Structure 1
Amino acid sequence: MESKKTTRRSTGGTDATTLLRADHKLVSELFEQFEKSRSPEKKRALVEQICLELTIHAQVEEEIFYPAVKAALNDSELVPEARVEHESLKALIAQLEGAEPGGEDYDARVKVLSEYVKHHVKEEQTEMFTKAKASSKLDLKALGQALLQRKEELKAQHA
């Protein structure tokens, strides 16, 4: 577990936005791999990984990051919008779980999920993260530690 922290260039803990950005980058790379893949088995494995990563990411944001941001920024727009976007992402994930690659709907659902995630990530990184970093009320390092710990718990549950 300690090695995960060091691979994230952490000396005193990674801040929450850096950790969440790393999640965004990982999922983006997985979507790129999916688009290049022609193997149904590889596509299925990638979609399973994408769905798991997104599910855990959304859960830690909703449990830890969003409430802290909402309170610190006295926010009534960014966090509610992000939560609604998560609901749509979860619906798309549910449609993909257990589905078989090969049909045109499968690739189309993955494409829509990818586009939706890109939209969500762009808003989150340019608006919410920027405001979170500017807030003196948020301890982003402590939030990062809480996010990392919760992510590890959730990954262990899904293993």
Structure 2
Amino acid sequence: MPTTPRQKDACDLLDADHKAVKKMFKDFEGLCGSRARNAAQLRLDLAKEICTELTVHAQIEEEIFYPALRDAIKETDLLAEAEVEHQTAKDLIAQIEGALQADEQFDARVKVLGEYIDHHVKEERNEIFTKARAARKLDLFAMREQLQQRKEELMEAQPAVA
């Protein structure tokens, strides 16, 4: 008997963001070795796009996902850690967004941000999402709609990338 696909929940939406940004970091890494004349500008543009995606993602987690999860689970130390990781990522994002050119320091900041986000994503997938899906008080399907709507609002409010 064929099984029907599982309905997508809030964790699936957040994880889709994780996968999209991971691909962008990989594309950035590929540009770092490029000898194309416009490689530096392409890196600058892509890094700013990564920063926009991460900023919006962090904001929807902080406004909607984390507070709901904090109310639904007993062990909130993981959420505190995730919030600290967000703040550190925001500090790096601010440095990247403030850069005027894609130089060695710029590339290093983007690479470190990618490594940092990779670590954060693993913790979310393996621990936070598992706890969220086990929490009986959470409607992750309704939350997915809320997250999607807020994400769209925030993305529309972002300045266009050059």
Same-fold call, TM > 0.5? yes
Note the aligned Cα RMSD (angstroms).
Answer: 1.6
Alpha carbons 1:43, 1:101 under 8 Å: kept: no
CA distance in structure 1 between the partners assigned to 2:107 and 2:142 by the alignment:
39
Tell me how far 1:74 sits from its aligned partner: 2.5
CA distance in structure 1 between the partners assigned to 2:43 and 2:16 by the alignment:
22
Residue 3 of structure 2 is aligned to residue 15 of structure 1: no
CA distance in structure 1 between the partners assigned to 2:84 and 2:102 by the alignment:
30
User: Out of 12, 29, 35, which is 2:23 matched to?
Assistant: 29
Give the corresponding residue for 1:122: 122
CA distance in structure 2 between the partners assigned to 1:104 and 1:41 by the alignment:
13
Alpha carbons 1:72, 1:135 under 8 Å: kept: yes
Tell me how far 1:44 sits from its aligned partner: 1.0
Write the letter of the residue equivalent to 2:40.
Answer: P
Give the corresponding residue for 1:52: 52
Write the letter of the residue equivalent to 2:12.
Answer: T
Unaligned runs of 5+ in 1: 1-9
Unaligned runs of 5+ in 2: none
Give the corresponding residue for 1:153: 153
Give the corresponding residue for 1:94: 94
Runs of 4+ deviating beyond 3 Å: none
C-alpha spacing 1:112/1:127, structure 2 compared with 1 (3 Å): same
Normalising by structure 2, report the TM-score.
Answer: 0.87
Deviation string, structure 1 residues 63-111 (Cα, Å, up to 9, x no partner)? 0000011110123201111000000000000000031344211111011
CA distance in structure 1 between the partners assigned to 2:20 and 2:119 by the alignment:
16
Alpha carbons 1:31, 1:50 under 8 Å: kept: yes
Tell me how far 1:11 sits from its aligned partner: 9.6
Tell me how far 1:136 sits from its aligned partner: 1.3
Percent of pairs with identical residues? 52
